[in-house]
Amino acid sequence: MKENIYLSVVIPCYDEMSNLQKGVLDKVQHFLDKAKFYYEVIVVDDGSKDGSVEFIEDFIKQNDNFILIKNQHSGKAGAVTAGVLAAKGDYILFTDMDQATPIEEVNKFFPFTKDGYDVVIGSRSNQRQGAPWTRKFVSKATVILRKMLIGLPEIVDTQCGFKMFSHNVAQQLFTKFFQIHDGFKNVSGSNVSAGMDMEVLYLAKKMGYKIKEVPVRWLHVETRRVSPLRSSIAGFIDLLVIKKNIISGIYK
């Protein structure tokens, strides 16, 4: 592994065998191998029980640029944080295993790093191609509630799972995020809530970092592990917790 890594890609994993068998890691590898920079891909397993770990272990035996971190089951927020804090790249991107936003969309981000942006985030079309009406409704409701409770009116889409940070900013931001959550607690079942993305972006703005939102391609990928109703309730609770933290001064 080269030490002068330009891009670290962090991919959280929880029972992702169906996506892994589609060859998503191969697609990530093929794109990055063509890039003119050194890279690493950090897959953070969040306590998978469906064979994902064994699949990834076999894959990385033949791919030196891939690393597996076995994390306790603490949800997506804990997995992403573990990967970001372990990353060595000048820039750190986190993306979802299903590659709903393809890895090659990162090429749209790099020009903005030269313009002094600390955080570059993907923004999906309002049409949300392929998404069921329930997910579209939840997304619109989340935006309205987010603006009412915590703000960030300048950001259209806080929830796209495709975000990049400069190394120093990522280390400072996610160290603070880790401390706020006291290292994250063990959870049960799939835990992909709206709170992480909104809280990280709120914290980034609070810390004075420059944020740029960039349109990216996105296609809905169906999953049975996430219930729209359950996730919307969890997202609303997350918003209330963030609002409570704002009032109590935790983000100062």
CATH number at residue 114: 3.90.550.10
C-alpha separations of 111 from 27, 100, 143, 169 in Å: 23, 22, 27, 17
Asked whether residue 190 is domain-assigned, the answer is yes
Please, are residues 117 and 205 in contact by the beta-carbon 8 Å criterion?
A: no
Residue 2 resides in a domain: no
Q: How many domains does the chain have?
A: 1
CB 74 within 8 A of CB 184: yes
Q: Is residue 127 part of a domain?
A: yes
Give the length of the chain: 252
Q: How far apart are CA 29 and CA 18, in angstroms?
A: 18
Confidence at residue 143, expressed as pLDDT on a 0 to 100 scale: 73
Whether 96 is covered by a domain: the verdict is yes
**3-class DSSP state of 124:** coil
Query: What confidence score (pLDDT) does residue 108 get?
Result: 97
Point out the residues of the chain with pLDDT beneath 50.
1
Range of the domain at 156: 7-248
78 is a domain residue: yes
With b meaning 16 or more CB within 10 Å and e meaning fewer, what string describes 23-47? ebbeebbebbeeeeebbbbbbbbbb
Residue 81 lies inside a defined structural domain of this protein: yes
In a domain, 33, yes or no: yes
pLDDT at 98: 95
Backbone region of residue 33 per phi and psi (left: phi > 0; alpha: psi in -120 to 50; beta: other values): alpha
91 lies in some domain: yes
| Of 145, 159, 156, the residue nearest 195 (C-alpha) | 159
Residue 146, pLDDT score: 75
What is the per-residue DSSP string for 52-94?
A: HHHHHHHHHTT-TTEEEEE--S-HHHHHHHHHHHH--SSEEEE
